[in-house]
Every structure is written in C-alpha cells, then in structure tokens.
Structure 1
C-alpha cells in the first residue's frame, strides 16, 4: 500500500539529458505558460463581461478555458522548476496528487469538447429549436456532467494507484506524473490497475470521440444541403474553431498512443507530452479568438478602454 512507502521518492529527469538547453527551454515554457494564463483568464473575463457572449457556445468555451488554465497550472510550474534546480525529486504523495488533479481536468476537457460538438450540432441542424434544446439549465447540466465524470475517473484511477506498493526510489524519464510513469515504478502486481486504466481511459476517449464524430457527420450533411455557397461557408465557420481544437487535441493523443515503446522513443514521447500538456492549453484561446469576430471585437474594446484610461 502507498502508506507503507511514504519515504520513497521519484526523480523526474525531464529534459536533464540536454543541459545546454535548460535555459532556452525554461524561457520557452515560461513564455508559453504566460500566454496560456493571459489567454485563458482573458477569455473567461471577456465572456463574463460581454452580454453579447452570454450564449451556450461561449458558456462552454468559458469552462474550456478554465479547464485549460487549471491543467496547465498543475503541470507547467513543476516542469519549470525542474529546469532550473538540481534536485528533481518529488514524493509519491506529491506525484499522485499532481496526477489526480490533472486527470480531473483532462477528462473534463474531453467531455467538454464532446458537449461543444453537440452544441454546434443543434445550432446548425436545428437552428429554430436551439434556444429550446440548449436552455440554461440543460447547459449547466452538461457542464456538471463533464466535471462529475472527470472527478469519478480521477478517483478510480487514483485508487488503482494507491493500492500499489513502491519499494525504492525510482528515476522517471519524464517531466510529469502520468499514470504509466507511476505504474512502472510499482513493485507490486499491476493487473487490477491496468484494467482500471483500460476501462476508464478508453471509455472516456471512445465515448467522447464517438459523440464528436456523429455530431460532425450530421453537421456536414446539413451543410451540404445548403444551396448557397455563402450559407455553407457561414455555417461551417461557426464550428471551424471547435473542429480545429478537437483535431489538435485528439490528434496529439493518437500520436502518443501510436509511438512504439522503445528507448529511442522517449524524446518523441516527451515532446508529444509537452505539446499535449503545455502547448494545447495555450492554443485553444488563440484558435477561438482568431476565428471569432465577437471575441476579437471585445478584445479591441478592452484595449481601447485601457488606452483611454492611460
């Protein structure tokens, strides 16, 4: 059990194999994290302060920005710390805590992307019934389901780790406490934990991806039935940002799953994990703000007000 191994430590190697890159990487990741914080917090503030954005689509987008901000904040500060200090150890409790909180937001983001796909499906396929189907209470229910499933998945996966035993300090060739990292450090039977991981990881990924694919299948069929080219472009533009975000998110996940497990693949895994955990939370607010005129207009107004106040 984990409480028998509280003195055991993990050593997160991170990018220590490349000492000449420590400072450049720190500056790069610090810049990315700063953009992530400003972008996601800014998106939340804009959505809350602009009455024009008080719609279901922006309601979900606000929660997506909150999830991205939280997940990046769980992982990136530790990554930055390990780039500038010699002591890269982390306790088992600290490692599992990072994993537990991280899973909540990762799984919640999966469900949130599926919810946003359903929202675009209703908006394009049933525009006259949109306000009926996507009522404030129903939107709040969908968001609650996203956070609830994220929490349930985190509790079950964390429990499957807490029942393991850890016999000695382990060197982890990664920068974050992922499930496979913690599992590989255990010296007890891992079969139950692997089954729990298989069930919840695949259930979350498969179900959300199916909802997204089915939603966009109906969306594309509906768009093709629109006679005017301008009408098709306008309909497609309403879901282009979300489709871009989904493609990047699930594309990165599939890329990491397809990498063969070998010593030579560790660097590729690290780079892919950095993109998944650090870069994507920065990209989402950029994608939505660049492709959305309402958000860009609000950004300009806030900038003008700041200039006037100065």
Structure 2
C-alpha cells in the first residue's frame, strides 16, 4: 500500500528544488532561505495539516479501466506529456518513406491520422474499445482492430513502419512486444516509440482512482531506465537511429498570482501553485518522455 500525501509531495518538491540548485548552480543564499522558509510555512499550513492522506493499492487498476474514462476527453488538450511527445514523433515520421504503417496502441488515432496525411496506408490496433470508438470517428474508413500488442492481427513482414506512442509503460516486459513489432516489420522497416520518461515518474504527483473493490487504487505502470529499451531492441536486430528526451516547460505563472484557496485533489497539477518557485526549480527542463527511432536491420 502507498500513502499519498499532498503535504509530503510539496515537501518533496522543495527538496528536489534544493538538490537541483546545489548541483546545477541555481541556488544562491536567497533561494535556499526561501525554500527553508516555505517548508516551514507548508508544515504550519492548517489546510495541509487537516487534509487527510489517501492510502492506495498500487497496480490495482488496469489501463483499460483508466482509458475507458479518458476516451471521451483524451484529445481535449492540456496534456503535458502529449504536448512534449507529439512534435518529436511527427518530426521523425516526416522523414520516413511512405508505405504501410501500423499505429500500435493507436488510442484515439492522433498519430494514425497524421500517418494517413503523410500518405501511408494505415492500420490501427488498440486494446481499448472506447479509445477505438474515438479513432473510428476520426478515421471512419481505416482498418482499426481491437487487439493486444502481444498478438498483433497481422502476418509477418506486413508493414514498413510501426508507431507505438505512450503505451509501453503499461507493459510489464518489453521483450515480447518488441519481438512482435519486429515480426510484422519488413527488413529495413522503422519503429518509432514514445513512452513516459522514468524521471517524470518520480516527480509527478500520483492520482488515486477508485479500484474494483471501491477503495483507492493506482494504475499498473512500468517506468523503466532507458537501457531497458536497448536491451530489448538490439538483440532483435533493431538499430538506433535517434533518441530524444523532450523536456518539461516552466510552470506558467502570472505575476503576483495567488495560489488556489481550495486544496486541489490528489494528483492535480494545481497543487504546484502552492509552491510555484520550488515547482519550477524542481520540474522545469526535466525529461517528460523518451522518443526512440529504431530501424530493423536488412
């Protein structure tokens, strides 16, 4: 069980801000004293002192349950992970030859539609029927299949490009899924992967949800060091063409803007405005995602 505390998270941000300042040279005496004073203020804040923490069971909610509730508003904007990831992925796709492209874990079809605009013959696969329903609205004539990444409904050497965006974090073992990508790719084909960065896993506030038993629970996720992608991909014949780690922009702040009066829910980004200077010092310019471009050896 994991005990989630908004006060604990804010104190953690203050600590990260100090450590980054010590290491990167951004902490003068005034900054350090401000952080110490803010820590004392947070500890004395009655709103935080009276706020009950949440004890949640890790891994008790599968991605299907979460995407069921996300599907209708997934494309509404304001998702910092997508905002960081999408331009990098599209820049890579812009440089690839057109052919048959598989969007594995296509979700609402945001990359599928872009591949189609580039001239690819597209195929989409996703495990969430709710997300696929949104993709079908966007691409009513594209072949879109409900399937697991471990068992793609395609013959071997069927596609020229595979895209898998922000989905492998839900897979406990990369090896079998990357082997399936290698199976359906033609020799010389391209694999473009994006995934949440492991650094972001440590720095973002966790969001508890209601589990199957009605108690607070956390989604099953698997943040991994970058070396694990290489360890899974290279033995399959994949060669690295590019790797990029898009960064988090600073928290937008209006001059003199007060923090929210009401304590935001657990996991809400609004909690950052309770200590915005520390949040920017801790989070700004840290990796949000990792984007890989592999090519299958000929």
Asked if these proteins are the same fold (TM beyond 0.5), I'd say: no
- Structure with bigger helix share is 1
- Structure with bigger strand share is 2
The normalised TM-score by structure 2 is 0.25
The normalised TM-score by structure 1 is 0.24
